[in-house]
Structure 1
């Protein structure tokens, strides 16, 4: 990413303001974010460790969970260390290259996260609707290829964002009223015409996330149709219980994502400090909650996690 084609603005240093108007409370605000950060790293690394160690968990569902955990770790590390440096040490400066790199990894991580949730919905559809063919349809190798496809999609669609920004001139005001380099927050500082940036960012987000939501909705519609055909009430509950963790993670991720995007673009009436705090919670909360949800709701993982926790 260091090879971005930066023009005359490559030597510019942006100033991340943190949460404007609440500078005196930065240290106190940092406490929950630091706790979320530590819990995110511990939870997701624990999932990776347990799934890697336990041969019985080397299944498509748990491999997808590992991809989700890696994505959450990457997204959190792209934002949280810099935010904590701002809160604790007032280290607000960030170079153009660092800013664009952070932007790329954050937004690419969001797209990978969404694509993995779609793949998880596919996994649940095959497990419930085509159980006899599950092992032949979703092999570990196929899951790895789907994970690579999720990554390639994110890189392909997100890379134009920093590349477009790198060609814009930036004038006097280099203050970003945020704790990280969000695409639109940086674009608004440009002296040039950012119409393309605005349209590309909005259309790309709506189309890709909208497509992912449609595919997930289709998967669950087919799952519900298959479940309703089962006569046994106990079988209904058993089939739907396998989807509980995924549904919880999906609701947490998409609800906070859509609210954050919509308020950033259309929430002019919301006080800036409230908006920035909420958007930061969006980047911090889902990566922390995901391993907890799967650890509690997935019996196999819960038992293995309990075994390792008891050994500590």
Structure 2
């Protein structure tokens, strides 16, 4: 009988905080979605902190690296090192553009962190969870909350298997592709940390409502769920509108995108997640049936929907420097 050795987690102290040596001004992602394998191409516009001379190191776990280019040139194997946790790249300058393509395996991802499958293989849908360090399971990136970037995300998938394609940000085009496939693009004009990245794709139904903010922005509110649950989302939609109006009236904070999506899933590690423009909820905190839902359960739905919406400013637009500041959001 052999003793089992468990690796202790790395000790992180607040006093050891250092600003990132490299930041990402913009990230353009092209995500080719599949249940068993998805491929993610990412184009990072990099900025160096002039006070630091550290090499470029990007977080990345459970990623199969397919290609890597720096400033348009394919890199040789000697120009970078990937140990399964960190990708280090030589020759990067301020303003350089790094392009990577990786493969991930959503159906095999049972940690429910990064990109994973919710539900059965044949009928389930794909979604992401990135707080606190899930984005590194999707692509290479400085996966820390003090790196704020503007995201452009293009999703591609089989139309029959994934008729609904969602990502955070404003819709910026969609269309058909050859072979029964389609695409959709989303642009978030507001810099955000990687833990707020989100994607959802699959067979989902929605209820929707038009909303106009106090400063005159027309917003489409959508709640998405699988067909057998969508009729139980109406109370949550009412709660969302109440939360948005309250935030305007009490704090003068208006919603700042053209769409706001909420998605219900039964496979989620948390109660809910405030991803910018694309909240993802454990169905327990979203679904209500007038014939069986208790008053206490209605209060939970009201509270959690409002809580996640209020993060749009307190947590998303104004976010943590590091995870020691978690309580501030």
Q: TM-score range by the shorter chain?
A: under 0.3
Q: Structure 2 length normalisation: TM-score?
A: 0.25
Q: Structure 1 length normalisation: TM-score?
A: 0.26
Higher relative CO (Cα under 8 Å, sequence separation at least 6) belongs to 1
Query: Which has the larger share of helix?
Result: 1
